Structure formats: C-alpha cells, structure tokens
C-alpha cells in the first residue's frame, strides 16, 4: 500500500496554498496515508494549518534554525532522512518545489516526475512537455520511491475541515554550510495573488511603458483581479518578474483571464491553458491569442481598457 | 577560477509547433529545426562574460546526445567556448542519467562553476542542475537572474514565485539560469570559421562508466485537449454582456 510524504511550502508564518493542492493531487493515489512534513525554524503556526487539511493523516515537524529559510541544499538531506518507508514523496511545482525536489530525487537515486497533471494509478502519471503542447504518460518503476512535483493549475486545494495529529520528529541529517540565505525582495502588493486569484488581468508589450500599465492595474482593481504580464512586458521592465505568466513564469488557472495587448505566443499560452474563460483584447485580428480566446475584442487597448474600467461600476 | 562547464542540450527550436506522432510514440523530429536550448545559450553567455572579465580561464561546453548534437556544440564554440565535449548516446536517456554523466565530466575537469539552463524546453523537466549539485554534493543556485563572483564564493539572485531571492554559495557550485540573466550574443561568420578548429572531443557513455538506461517508461504522447473556438464581440458593451452571460460579472 502506498504511503505519501508531502513537503510543505510556507514562509515561516503560514502555509502556502500549494500544499493543499499537492494534497489534492496525492488523494489520486489511493494511499494508506498522506503525511505532511513541515521543516521550519518554529513550525507551530504552519503545522496547525497543515493539520486542518482534509485527507492528511499526520503532520510531522522538524524545527531547526537552519530551516528558517527554504534552501534546497539544507532541506534535501532532511527530506531524504525522513523519506524512509514512504512510497511517494510529493512537492508542489512552484519555484520552492522545483528547486528542492530534484535534489531529493537525486539523493534517493531516482528520477523525478515533474508537473503531475493527472494520476492514472499509483505509478502512472500524465505530465505536460513541450510547453504544454504535448501530454506525456509516464510510468515510474514500482521498486523505487516516486518523487514528483505537482502542477498547480491542475488541482483545487483540499478543504480545511480536519484535525490531523501533529508530531515533532528529530532529524540527524548533516546540514551543509555551503549555501547561505541573504534576502528576499518581493514586490508585495495588496492585490490578489496571481496564482490563487480567480480573476487575472495581464498586459503585454503593447502597454509600452510602466506608466501605461496603470490602466491594467485600474481594471484589475475594479474586477478584484490579480495582475500578470507577458515576458515581453517583464523584460522591458514595465513590471517585476514575479508577474510573468507562461512556460517560464507562472502557470495559472483563474476562472477569468484577460490578455490585453498580448500576441499569444505558445510560451505565454502554456501559462493559461487551464483558465476558465479567456478574454483577448488586441488590435490585430490575426493575433494567435484569438485562437484560444473564448471572447475576443479587436481594437486599441488604450481606448477599450479605460472604457471597460469605467463601465464596471 | 580555472574552468566553467556549460551544458548545451540539442532541442526542437522554440519557434516550431511540435506535433505528436500518429502512433503516440513521440513527437515528430524529421526535418524539424533543432537548436541549442534557449536557456543554455544564456548559460553560455554568462560563462563567456565571466571569462572575458578575467574571472575564469576556460569555458567548456558539453552535450549529451546523438552525433548531430555536434552542431549545437559547434555553435557554442562559435559563440566563444574554448572546447567542447560530446557525450555520445543514441538511445534515450533520463534526467538522473544525464546528471550522472555530467558528474563524471565535472569530476574530470574540476570546474569552479557548472552553468546549466533552468529547464530544457522539450521535456520541461527542470531537474538536471539540482540533481548534479546533489550528486556532486555541492551548492545549487537555480533560476538565476544575476550572478556575482567574489573569490571562492558567488552571490546569486534567484527568480522565485514571490520575487527575487539572494543567496550566497561556495564554489564549486551548479547554477541554473533564468531568461533575464543576460542576452546571448549573436554568432558572427568569422567565428563560425574559427570554431571549426577548436577541439571537440567525443566520449561514449560506456567510456564514462555511466549507465543511463531510463527507468521512467514513456507510455504515450498525445496532444492536449483543444479549447473550443470562442466568440468575437464588437465593443465594450458586447464584452460586458458576454461576461455577464457566463456569470463572470
Ligand atoms: C524559452 C522561452 C520561454 C518563454 N517564456 C515565456 C513566458 O513564460 N511568458 C511569456 O509571456 N512569454 C514567454 N516567452 C516569450 C514569447 O515567445 C513572446 O515573445 C512573448 O510572450 C511576447 O509578449 P507579448 O505578447 O507581450 O508581445 P508581442 O508578441 O510583441 O505582442 C504584442 C501584441 O500587442 C498588440 N498590440 C499592440 N498595440 C496594441 C494596442 N494599442 N491595442 C491592442 N493591442 C495592441 C499587437 O497586435 C501584438 O499582438 C518565452 C520565449 C522563450 C524563447
Ligand atoms: N542532453 C543534455 N546535454 C547537455 N546538457 C543538458 C542535457 N540535458 C539537460 N541539460 C542541461 O540541464 C538543463 C536543464 O535540463 P532539464 O533538467 O532536462 O530541464 C538544460 O538547460 C541543460 O543546460
């Protein structure tokens, strides 16, 4: 019978929603148990949140000052030490999980399944390749642990109606000193988080400056939406990198996505394939974005967007 | 530092719309344009800049793949790498096997840095750098958008979901690069001529002593579900009506 260990993602204070989505994916394995591992400096708050998640059997905590920040080189040996007895070790396919999990896999001597989007059985998974233009079904060997990351846009977080046991565990893994955390600069905003927002408005190169991006923010505020951008807009410096949507940015699945002045390159479309409704506003009727848009409007964004914002009273 | 090792993967060019083979056993590659994985060009550019600043003596490009991967290595030499190593393998490999092969090269060459792409745009695995760092028991700095060397340490700014994280690592280390680290240079014609004379060594996986028999079975390749064709609206009023219709406003 399968036993699953899920590596919690958190910032020391609260649990990232990616963990509840990873649990949702794990329920597809029909395992005997699903445990969550919280590695932190002080795990209390995060563990309490994790314990509420449905389908979770136990929350294991490892408290260590070295775990104050999530460094893959620090965390991986601890995961490996605690992974004994588990048939599956899952993490989210966020930058946290994508940094950590392959290091864990290599130390366990196995390959990693990246970006699970569907589970066929305990060892058979679907995952996107070629920027989501191909879906590959892969089978992992049954005589080794399965190490995998979970594609966030494919799962809804499990609910928080439970009360799992929390157990503090000790871990004697040797922690290397060769990697040191310095700092984190985040463009913190009070707008909804891009990856969890139900509505997202994104702007592209056509915005032409960071000042002009204001009209995107105004529309987003009216809709209660998160704000994203194409790579071209990020590269040009109109908005910070954490707003990039696409193959190499964030893969998102909002109910409503508005692509404004974005051509619809395949690398961008990869990021929005699972959006509920895609709206495209573009002055070029031939733009590829219209091939995937549910609702398309051809015209100049600089007149359409303010008009739309004004109309949304 | 003495040497920098850069991994160059031969992949289907990023502009190609890939097609799944009718029998679901793979994607069409016959007659399809192949290129260096775009992230690997950025990795190489960074290595070349480090060398040009006098902070490294030699840049070595490595590719694991079929004989045709020589083309990508030659392009890497034309960009400015000093020499190339082809780890020749005709059968498919998996990420752990590729990381093991790169580890053998790292052990032979003792580079101060190994710079790889953050992901290969064919398999979208995003694993090799982290696996190599683990097997080599060295630091990793993934998704790098800025790299500063300081003696036997490096300071790396990483693009993470919530912003930009800075870490400090001891060398030797493995870096995986993100798109915004730099803009790769263009190759000039005389450089292509010069590159023909640069050394390109070939070694088989067997000779490296690595077994890369893949353990992940690739059962089936299929196209993703198509989105249904949508509607066009004439103006803002039409857009609002269509959104209300779907219960989104
Ligand atoms: C390896 C790799 C990874 C990549 N990853 C990503 C990724 O994660 N995310 C991403 O987005 N891209 C990514 N890209 C880049 C991608 O290929 C495109 O270059 C990029 O998405 C284009 O951004 P854009 O649509 O804003 O710009 P453009 O392609 O220049 O499109 C601008 C659009 O705006 C329209 N327009 C102009 N003026 C107006 C106006 N006044 N009103 C209305 N419409 C107007 C134009 O008709 C055009 O369609 C990647 C590329 C590579 C090689
Ligand atoms: N066959 C290969 N040859 C050389 N380098 C590779 C190969 N496969 C992967 N790499 C390197 O590892 C990076 C990440 O690849 P991946 O982990 O497969 O997404 C790539 O950008 C390359 O730098």
Residue B247 CA: distances (Å) to CA of A270, A276, A277, B101, B237: 25, 12, 11, 54, 15
- DSSP-derived letter for residue B37 is -
Question: A151 with A8, same domain?
Answer: yes
- B127 → closest Cβ in A114, A234, A312: A114
Total number of domains constituting chain A? 2
Distance CA(B65)–CA(B246), nearest Å, equals 49
CB A267 within 8 A of CB A248: yes
Residue A189 lies in a domain: no
Smallest CA–CA distance, residue A115 to chain B, in Å, is: 8
Question: A118 with A59, same domain?
Answer: yes
**What confidence score (pLDDT) does residue B216 get?**
92
Residue A239 lies in a domain: yes
**What confidence score (pLDDT) does residue A188 get?**
64
Residue of B nearest to A299 (CA): B235
Long-range contacts of A268-271 (CB under 8 A, 24+ apart): A268/A230, A268/A231, A269/A132, A270/A128, A270/A131, A270/A132, A270/A133, A270/A246, A271/A245, A271/A246, A271/A247
**Tokens 């857009």 sit at which residue?**
B239
Q: Minimum mean pLDDT among A145-159, A282-296, B203-217: which range?
A: B203-217
Q: pLDDT above 70 covers what percent of chain A?
A: 100
Atom of ligand 2 nearest to the CA of B43: 23
CB B126 within 8 A of CB B15: no
**What confidence score (pLDDT) does residue B213 get?**
72
CB B106 within 8 A of CB B212: no
Residue B212 CA: distances (Å) to CA of A138, A175, B208: 17, 29, 11
Query: Which of A257, A265, A306 to mutate for ligand 1's pocket (most ligand atoms within 8 Å of CB)?
Result: A265
Question: A154 with A209, same domain?
Answer: no
pLDDT category of residue A191 using cuts at 50, 70 and 90: confident
Model confidence over A154-165: pLDDT tens digits? 999 999 999 999
Which domain range does residue A17 map to?
Answer: 3-168
Q: Is pLDDT of B197 > 80?
A: yes
Question: A220 with A157, same domain?
Answer: no
Residue A50 lies in a domain: yes
Residue A266 lies in a domain: yes
Atom of ligand 1 nearest to the CA of A281: 43
Residue A191 lies in a domain: no
Smallest CA–CA distance, residue B226 to chain A, in Å, is: 9
Burial class of residue B156 in the structure, from the number of CB atoms within 10 Å of its CB (0-12 exposed, 13-18 middle, 19+ buried): buried
Question: A18 with A141, same domain?
Answer: yes
CB A264 within 8 A of CB A249: no
Q: Which of A58, A78, A56 is nearest to A67 (CA)?
A: A78
pLDDT category of residue B225 using cuts at 50, 70 and 90: confident
Model confidence over A27-85: pLDDT tens digits? 999 999 999 999 999 999 999 999 999 999 999 999 999 999 999 999 999 999 999 99
Distance CA(B197)–CA(B163), nearest Å, equals 44
Model confidence over B11-40: pLDDT tens digits? 999 999 899 999 999 999 999 999 999 999
Residue A251 lies in a domain: yes
Q: pLDDT above 70 covers what percent of chain B?
A: 100
Instruction: Report chain B's mean pLDDT, rounded to a whole number.
Output: 95
* Distance (Å) from CA A233 to ligand 1 centroid: 8
Rounded to 5 degrees, what angle do the CA atoms A172, A175, A179 make?
A: 165
Question: A118 with A221, same domain?
Answer: no
Both tokens of residue B207?
């000779």
Peptide bond into A290 cis (omega under 30): no
**Tokens 């799992």 sit at which residue?**
A164
The whole model's pTM is what?
0.94
**What confidence score (pLDDT) does residue A13 get?**
95
Question: A154 with A238, same domain?
Answer: no
- B233 → closest Cβ in A179, A241, A297: A297
CB B121 within 8 A of CB A202: no
Question: A39 with A159, same domain?
Answer: yes
Question: A22 with A163, same domain?
Answer: yes
How many CB atoms within 10 Å of residue B117?
27
Total number of domains constituting chain B? 1
Average pLDDT over residues A257-268: 96
Tell which of A122, A152, A168 closes a domain.
A168
CATH of residue B148's domain is 3.40.50.620
Size of interface A-B (CB pairs under 8 A): 239
Question: A40 with A160, same domain?
Answer: yes
pLDDT category of residue B211 using cuts at 50, 70 and 90: confident
Average pLDDT over residues B227-234: 90
Distance CA(A282)–CA(A270), nearest Å, equals 19
User: Which of B126, B157, B158, B213 would you mutate first to test chain A, the one with the most A CBs within 10 A?
Assistant: B126
Residue A177 lies in a domain: no
Question: A210 with A108, same domain?
Answer: no
Q: Is pLDDT of B238 > 70?
A: yes
Atom of ligand 2 nearest to the CA of B117: 21
pLDDT category of residue B43 using cuts at 50, 70 and 90: very high
Which domain range does residue B92 map to?
Answer: 3-245
- DSSP-derived letter for residue A277 is E
Q: Is pLDDT of A236 > 70?
A: yes
Question: A145 with A24, same domain?
Answer: yes
Query: Tell me, what's the ipTM?
Result: 0.94
CATH of residue A234's domain is 3.40.50.1220
Model confidence over A212-231: pLDDT tens digits? 999 999 999 999 999 999 99
Instruction: Report chain A's mean pLDDT, rounded to a whole number.
Output: 96
Model confidence over B88-131: pLDDT tens digits? 998 888 999 999 999 999 999 999 999 999 999 999 999 999 99
């Amino acid at each position: 019978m399968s036993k699953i260990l899920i590596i919690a993602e958190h910032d020391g204070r609260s649990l990232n929603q990616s963990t509840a989505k990873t649990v949702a994916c794990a329920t597809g394995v029909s395992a005997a148990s699903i445990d969550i591992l919280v590695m932190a400096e002080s795990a209390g708050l995060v563990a309490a949140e994790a314990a509420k998640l449905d389908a979770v059997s136990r929350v294991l905590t490892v408290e260590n000052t070295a775990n104050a920040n999530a460094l893959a080189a620090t965390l991986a040996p601890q995961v490996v030490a605690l992974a004994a007895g588990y048939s599956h070790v899952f993490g989210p396919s966020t930058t946290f999980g994508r940094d950590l999990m392959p290091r864990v896999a290599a130390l366990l001597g196995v390959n990693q399944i990246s970006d699970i989007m569907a589970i066929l059985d305990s060892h058979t998974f679907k995952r996107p390749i070629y920027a989501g233009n191909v879906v590959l079904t892969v089978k992992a060997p049954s005589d080794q642990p399965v190490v995998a990351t979970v594609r966030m846009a494919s799962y809804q977080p499990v609910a928080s109606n439970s009360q799992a046991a929390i157990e503090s565990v000790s871990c004697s893994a040797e922690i290397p000193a060769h990697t040191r955390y310095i700092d984190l600069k985040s463009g913190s905003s009070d707008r909804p988080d891009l990856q969890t927002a139900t509505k997202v408005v994104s702007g592209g190169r056509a915005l032409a400056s960071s000042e002009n991006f204001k009209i995107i923010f105004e529309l987003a505020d009216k809709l209660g939406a998160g704000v994203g951008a194409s790579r071209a807009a990020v590269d040009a410096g109109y908005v910070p990198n954490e707003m990039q949507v696409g193959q190499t940015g964030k893969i998102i699945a909002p109910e409503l996505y508005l692509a404004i002045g974005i051509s619809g390159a395949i690398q961008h479309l990869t990021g929005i394939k699972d959006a509920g409704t895609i709206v495209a506003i573009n002055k070029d009727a031939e733009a590829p974005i219209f091939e995937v848009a549910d609702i398309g409007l051809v015209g100049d964004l600089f007149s359409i967007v303010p008009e739309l914002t004004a109309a949304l009273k | 530092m003495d040497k920098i090792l850069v991994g160059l993967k031969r992949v289907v060019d990023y502009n190609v719309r890939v097609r799944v083979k009718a029998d679901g056993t793979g994607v069409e590659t016959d007659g399809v344009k192949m290129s260096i994985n775009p992230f690997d060009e950025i990795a190489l550019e960074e290595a070349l800049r480090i060398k040009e600043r006098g902070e490294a003596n030699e840049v070595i490009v490595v590719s694991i793949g079929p004989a045709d991967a020589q083309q990508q290595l030659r392009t890497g030499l034309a960009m400015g790498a000093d020499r190339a190593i082809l780890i020749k393998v005709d059968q498919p490999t998996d990420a752990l096997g590729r990381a093991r092969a790169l580890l053998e090269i790292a052990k032979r060459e003792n580079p101060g840095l190994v710079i790889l792409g953050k992901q290969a745009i064919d398999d979208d695995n995003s694993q090799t750098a982290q696996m190599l760092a683990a097997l080599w028991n060295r630091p990793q700095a993934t998704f790098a958008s800025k790299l500063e060397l300081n003696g036997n340490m490096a300071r790396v700014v990483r693009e993470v979901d919530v912003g930009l994280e800075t870490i400090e690592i001891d060398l030797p280390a493995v870096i995986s690069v993100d798109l915004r680290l730099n803009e790769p240079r263009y190759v000039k014609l005389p450089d292509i001529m010069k590159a023909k004379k640069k050394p390109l060594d070939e070694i088989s996986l067997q000779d490296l002593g690595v077994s890369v028999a893949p353990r992940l079975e690739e059962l089936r390749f299929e196209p993703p579900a198509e989105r249904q064709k949508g509607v066009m609206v004439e103006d803002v009023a039409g857009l609002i009506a269509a959104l209300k219709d779907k219960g989104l406003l």
